[in-house]
Amino acid sequence: MLFSAVIPCYNEEENVKDVYDEIMKNEEYFKSHDIDTEILFVDDGSKDATVAEVKKLIESDKRVHLLSFSRNFGKEAGIFAGLENANGDYVALMDADLQDPPSLLPKMFDEIFNGGYDCVATRRVSRKGEPKIRSFFARMFYRIMRRIAKTDIVDGARDYRLMSRAMVDSIVSMKEYTRFSKGIFGWVGFNTKWLEFENVERRKGETKWSFWGLFKYSLEGIMGFSTAPLAIVSVLGLFFTFLAFVAIVLIIIRTLIFGDPTNGWPSMACIIIFMGGIQLFCVGILGQYLSKVYMEVKNRPIYIVKEKI
């Protein structure tokens, strides 16, 4: 039986060796369960010595593989490429920064072997070490998402998970360009066991996610797995049409009773600006979906490989 560890890396020169060592600390467990290992580093166009570090490992250990992108395509592309190129009967996805502790692997395998699960996923129960405001918005995102998305998305879920071959194949069969893995994992289904762990802070280097980057990513998640914003737009349209109708009736009645003093143009200006704003906002939402359709229709490759070892 073959186990593949897939590790997307972007500027992780300091972590490559560490994560390899941490995974290999489980070697005894792997041996006793007849599990062969391969480790696939997906270099997402790193600008530092990540590739050189991986090559060093390859020289000493043939079980290490490298897939290097021609430029930075983003973590989602790295995940996709890694899953597509992994050969294992079981595939684990983990970050290079050791925020996903490889020491959990034996426990995850136990759940698969003894619990009959197809997938063991992890979620962190705390967010200690993370900026408060980021945690707040993250929580809010998951709350909204759970309400409107057609797929199961778990608060605090990490991308760290061990999956069976069947599940990996089904994920790879989803070729969408704008990828939101947290949604895809839930969408494909399969029996999933959730393991909980305390948040671990990144060991070395720094995070690649800015607040703005995360915000855009969350919008992608919402648009990728829900059409609720479009429905809200329609409801808004109906609501304001109704409101306008009531206002017309009221104004006609008022004019008939009280005559027609020409006041009220400031309120008129407010209403026009307000409606203009709402309309632009709604057109914007439509545009966002349209832009996603545009990207899908272009059908560009999700990643481009420069080097494969």
Residues at the interface with ligand UDP (CB under 6 A) = 8-10, 12, 44, 72, 74-75, 78, 95-97, 99, 202, 207-209
Name the residue with tokens 């070729």: 175
- The entry of ligand UDP, Mg ion, none near residue 78 (CB within 5 to 8 angstroms by kind) is ligand UDP
- The entry of Mg ion, ligand UDP, none near residue 96 (CB within 5 to 8 angstroms by kind) is ligand UDP
Regarding 44 and contact with Mg ion (CB under 5 A), the answer is: no
- The entry of Mg ion, ligand UDP, none near residue 63 (CB within 5 to 8 angstroms by kind) is none
Q: Binders of Mg ion: how many residues, by CB under 5 A?
A: 4
Residue 288 CB, shortest distance to ligand UDP, in Å, is: 22
Instruction: Name which of 63 and 202 has its Cβ closer to Mg ion.
Output: 202
Residue 204 CB, shortest distance to Mg ion, in Å, is: 11
Instruction: Name which of 76 and 97 has its Cβ closer to Mg ion.
Output: 97
What angle is formed at CA 53 by the lines to CA 306 and CA 67, rounded to 5 degrees? 25
Instruction: Name which of 216 and 254 has its Cβ closer to ligand UDP.
Output: 216
Binder among 43, 97, 100, 111 for Mg ion (CB under 5 A) = 97
Can you tell me the distance from the alpha carbon of 185 to that of 290, in angstroms, rounded to the nearest whole number?
24
Regarding 202 and contact with Mg ion (CB under 5 A), the answer is: yes
270-285: burial string, b at 16+ Cβ within 10 Å, e else: eeeeeeeeeeeebeee
Can you tell me the distance from the alpha carbon of 281 to that of 199, in angstroms, rounded to the nearest whole number?
37
Distance of CA 231 to the CA centre of its chain: 23
Are the CB atoms for 79 and 6 separated by under 8 Å?
Answer: yes
**Closest C-alpha to 7, from 38, 40, 37, 36:** 40
Residue 97 CB, shortest distance to ligand UDP, in Å, is: 5
Residue 96 CB, shortest distance to Mg ion, in Å, is: 8
Can you tell me the distance from the alpha carbon of 180 to that of 35, in angstroms, rounded to the nearest whole number?
30
**Closest C-alpha to 90, from 181, 23, 162, 27:** 162
Contact window for Mg ion (CB under 5 A) among 88-96, 110-118, 159-167, 210-218: 88-96
Residue 169 CB, shortest distance to ligand UDP, in Å, is: 22
Class of residue 15 by CB neighbours under 10 A (exposed 0-12, middle 13-18, buried 19+): buried
Regarding 68 and contact with Mg ion (CB under 5 A), the answer is: no
Instruction: Write out the residues near Mg ion by the rule CB under 5 A.
Output: 95, 97, 99, 202
